A and B are shown apart, each in its own frame.
Chain A
């Protein structure tokens, strides 16, 4: 994709657009040729209005007035034609994620895009917003726009596409049409072997309460209330799934529970220890109390990418016996530990001295997971365990979590993937705008009901 949009130049091969060979050296070439890209992480200026964002890069002269008028007219036309309604004078920072994405699409269309590339567009959307996005894409398709959808979600491919190409490790491994294929076949193509798509949830008898949070509230540095009186109870031998659209307080909840942030109000109880604003605990103390944490952002938090894999298997445990005796670290011991974990978790390549940044996403995640599981935690916090991870590794990671649960560990699973939450959780807690909308049993949950709750529509079944 980066080659198509001109970030990289291809070493060999050529690009043809409408039968004409095209040379794309930079993104300006790509735009000129009618290629528009909607990135997974939006490239918008939050303090600009919709109009200003759309005209960015096409200001039309030194004075803005004329470009502004032209863009406004153009926006109106695009909105009518494709059903992309939006208020041109709203600040982008005030818009919801779904609307911000719409601005990105409008930006691409305004630049005359006839080929629209969307990179994992639904990762940040609620199921409802996803449906609306697909409506728009269908409308654009009718108007003659070519749409290239990059996604790892098989459901979306089956729902909205006309043709699908499967890539594995930089190679095209197959072309299918959704009408004549199945999710299972696509998954097999992606991984190269048969895959169990839906892990079977094994429900056991939950044990004693391991972690309790009560009335947790937290404001960020800007004073915005990110967590509002959140309470939960986590038992040994169960997986509590936390569902919600990205940015509704799940990250902050993990930060508080892991000791990275201090609670400003409310209390956490882990074993005998009570943690509140008067008695905060840092991540080192939480680990000592038996709480392990697989962070949402493995690249920035879970790993030091420039360190070797071996050095990374003691990250967080660098003060303890795992790293070495006394004040010194024991490089041979750490290497041996890493080798053992790599074998057990099937990390490839099996090279403890390779930089963590040199592993694929799935293998990086396995390293983090191996480290946190191997210490034998009482409580495990897991954030987005399979984000950016290939389907084969997803299956493996899910199995590890289920095994750990059955060994009696209490697991809090935060994920924006509803399928993942449904496949693994015993109970599901839904968050919206920093609040707990409700907690329901797995048996009572389905996509539709969770979707409503994620949108903040509470039901009778509140916890």
Chain B
């Protein structure tokens, strides 16, 4: 049976909310089976994510990572390319940040180093995605395969460098020396402190603002420039793009570079903003979660910010859950996150026919 299309508000608003509710309901059942109260757990999560001192800061700090990787996936997706390599591109972006800081922080003023580091994160991430993009466009190697393989190469490369050339002198842990203090992105609690607002300490830093600026930038690029038009036309119909004289192969490479650049900028938050040194595995799955974020956010910057906020709150609230309840472990929290991804990502359209039928019934009753 064919289902009449839903009104737009239901499609972008109602369906995601229902999906999340369903995921939370299933999680609640699991928590109840562990002998805890689902309601109490939800309260702990919400408090941990938004109310407790520093909770909101932590939530937004996680959100920042998801915005960058979510935007990265969405840019490529508008060109109908599945960039699964956000993880590796972010790692290489971090390498770019580290190289700039380690080489220049003794000689240049901090602000200039920061600007160069921001550029390096994007450029390194872009370069790392450009190679799979080129291979897809001109050699026909499938982008999903190559970007996954490039994740492994990036991981191997960072291990080799951090246990070798870049390892802090006189130490045996696989990380670089700390960057000069002037070359670190300021924390938001410090920045608010300068204007007299005291807030709790959290890892939230300037890169959150950079992420929001990127959202606006991506929106303008995709929806308001001729380049974005060509990109979307290519993603929606390659034959139409060829007919329209859009250089499809070149566009594939450029789209991947932009996507990788955005993923690379995730390193700003982790490396330049919080850790202040390059270390192993700082990407910790954000690149992959970005796929779910983009999917849930409908590849639109506003949706991506909302989805990122949800995942940020889950990460932060989940950590609190782990802390508060003996029976709920870190793995339990991962399970809840997994359920949300499953319901709002993989099963995003599961409820569509049901909601469609409800709408048809309501309409039928009206008429």
CB atoms of A328 and B236 under 8 A apart:
no
User: Is B363 part of the contact surface with A, judged by Cβ < 8 Å?
Assistant: no
Central interface residue in B224, B237, B243, by most chain A CB within 10 Å: B243
Residues of B within 8 A of A259 (CB): 245
User: Is B349 part of the contact surface with A, judged by Cβ < 8 Å?
Assistant: no
Which of B2, B226, B240, B247 is within 8 Å of A304, CB to CB? B240
Stretch with Cβ within 8 A of A (4 or more), from B32-40, B123-131, B208-216, B227-235: B227-235
CB atoms of B242 and A283 under 8 A apart:
yes
Q: Find residues 300-326 in chain A having any chain B CB closer than 8 Å to their own CB.
A: 300-307, 311, 314-316, 318-319, 323-324
Residues of A within 8 A of B245 (CB): 259, 282-287, 316, 319
Total chain B interface residues with beta-carbon distance under 8 A:
21
Residues of B within 8 A of A305 (CB): 236-237
CB atoms of B244 and A328 under 8 A apart:
no
Contacts A8-B2, A323-B226 given; does A307 touch B247 at CB 8 Å: no
Report how far A300 CA is from B243 CA in the complex, Å: 9
Closest Cβ–Cβ distance, residue A344 to chain B (whole Å): 22
CB atoms of A315 and B244 under 8 A apart:
yes
**Chain B residue with the shortest CB-CB distance to A327:** B225
Closest Cβ–Cβ distance, residue B227 to chain A (whole Å): 7
Report how far A259 CA is from B228 CA in the complex, Å: 23
CB atoms of B224 and A328 under 8 A apart:
yes
User: Is A293 part of the contact surface with B, judged by Cβ < 8 Å?
Assistant: yes
Q: Find residues 303-358 in chain A having any chain B CB closer than 8 Å to their own CB.
A: 303-307, 311, 314-316, 318-319, 323-324, 327-329, 331
User: Is B342 part of the contact surface with A, judged by Cβ < 8 Å?
Assistant: no
Residues of A within 8 A of B240 (CB): 300-304, 315
Central interface residue in B1, B224, B228, B240, by most chain A CB within 10 Å: B240
CB atoms of B225 and A318 under 8 A apart:
no
Report how far A324 CA is from B230 CA in the complex, Å: 13
Residues of A within 8 A of B116 (CB): none
Total chain A interface residues with beta-carbon distance under 8 A:
34
User: Is B246 part of the contact surface with A, judged by Cβ < 8 Å?
Assistant: yes
User: Is B239 part of the contact surface with A, judged by Cβ < 8 Å?
Assistant: yes
Q: Find residues 252-279 in chain A having any chain B CB closer than 8 Å to their own CB.
A: 258-260
Which of B2, B224, B246, B247 is within 8 Å of A318, CB to CB? B246
Report how far A327 CA is from B226 CA in the complex, Å: 6
Report how far A323 CA is from B245 CA in the complex, Å: 14
B280-306 interface code vs A (CB 8 A; 1 in, 0 out): 000000000000000000000000000
Q: Find residues 1-41 in chain B having any chain A CB closer than 8 Å to their own CB.
A: 1-2
CB atoms of B224 and A329 under 8 A apart:
yes
Q: Find residues 224-268 in chain B having any chain A CB closer than 8 Å to their own CB.
A: 224-230, 232-233, 236-237, 239-240, 242-247
User: Is A9 part of the contact surface with B, judged by Cβ < 8 Å?
Assistant: yes
Q: Find residues 183-232 in chain B having any chain A CB closer than 8 Å to their own CB.
A: 224-230, 232
User: Is A295 part of the contact surface with B, judged by Cβ < 8 Å?
Assistant: yes
Report how far A329 CA is from B230 CA in the complex, Å: 11
User: Is A297 part of the contact surface with B, judged by Cβ < 8 Å?
Assistant: yes
Report how far A303 CA is from B237 CA in the complex, Å: 8
CB atoms of A283 and B225 under 8 A apart:
no
Which of B1, B225, B229, B243 is within 8 Å of A311, CB to CB? B229
Q: DSSP majority for the B interface?
A: helix
**Chain B residue with the shortest CB-CB distance to A282:** B245
Residues of A within 8 A of B243 (CB): 258, 260, 283, 293, 295, 301-302, 315-316
Report how far A258 CA is from B244 CA in the complex, Å: 10
**Chain A residue with the shortest CB-CB distance to B1:** A9
Closest Cβ–Cβ distance, residue B130 to chain A (whole Å): 21
Report how far A287 CA is from B246 CA in the complex, Å: 12
B60-98 interface code vs A (CB 8 A; 1 in, 0 out): 000000000000000000000000000000000000000
Which of A284, A295, A300, A328 is within 8 Å of B225, CB to CB? A328
CB atoms of B2 and A300 under 8 A apart:
no
**Chain A residue with the shortest CB-CB distance to B234:** A304
A158-187 interface code vs B (CB 8 A; 1 in, 0 out): 000000000000000000000000000000
Q: Find residues 222-272 in chain A having any chain B CB closer than 8 Å to their own CB.
A: 258-260
Central interface residue in B224, B237, B246, B247, by most chain A CB within 10 Å: B237
Residues of B within 8 A of A304 (CB): 232-233, 236-237, 240
Report how far A306 CA is from B236 CA in the complex, Å: 7
Closest Cβ–Cβ distance, residue A318 to chain B (whole Å): 5
Report how far A284 CA is from B242 CA in the complex, Å: 9
CB atoms of B242 and A260 under 8 A apart:
yes
Which of A287, A297, A318 is within 8 Å of B229, CB to CB? A318
CB atoms of A324 and B242 under 8 A apart:
no
Report how far A343 CA is from B264 CA in the complex, Å: 48
Closest Cβ–Cβ distance, residue B235 to chain A (whole Å): 9
Report how far A258 CA is from B239 CA in the complex, Å: 13
CB atoms of A329 and B233 under 8 A apart:
no
Residues of B within 8 A of A323 (CB): 226, 229
Residues of B within 8 A of A285 (CB): 245
**Chain A residue with the shortest CB-CB distance to B245:** A284
**Chain B residue with the shortest CB-CB distance to A330:** B224
Report how far A331 CA is from B229 CA in the complex, Å: 11
A42-82 interface code vs B (CB 8 A; 1 in, 0 out): 00000000000000000000000000000000000000000
Residues of A within 8 A of B229 (CB): 311, 314, 318, 323, 329
Residues of B within 8 A of A327 (CB): 225-227
Closest Cβ–Cβ distance, residue A447 to chain B (whole Å): 32
**Chain B residue with the shortest CB-CB distance to A283:** B245
Closest Cβ–Cβ distance, residue A132 to chain B (whole Å): 34
Residues of B within 8 A of A282 (CB): 245, 247
Other than A282-B245, A286-B245, A304-B236, give 16 A-B pairs with Cβ distance below 8 A.
Answer: A8-B2, A260-B242, A282-B247, A283-B245, A293-B243, A302-B240, A303-B237, A305-B236, A314-B229, A315-B240, A315-B244, A318-B233, A319-B226, A327-B225, A329-B224, A329-B229
Subset of 20 A-B contacts with CB under 8 Å: A9-B1, A283-B242, A283-B244, A284-B244, A295-B243, A297-B239, A300-B239, A301-B237, A301-B239, A304-B232, A304-B233, A305-B236, A306-B237, A307-B232, A316-B245, A318-B233, A327-B226, A328-B224, A329-B224, A329-B229
Closest 7 CB pairs of A and B: A284-B245, A283-B245, A316-B244, A301-B243, A300-B239, A304-B236, A301-B239
Binding site for A on B (CB under 8 A): 1-2, 224-230, 232-233, 236-237, 239-240, 242-247
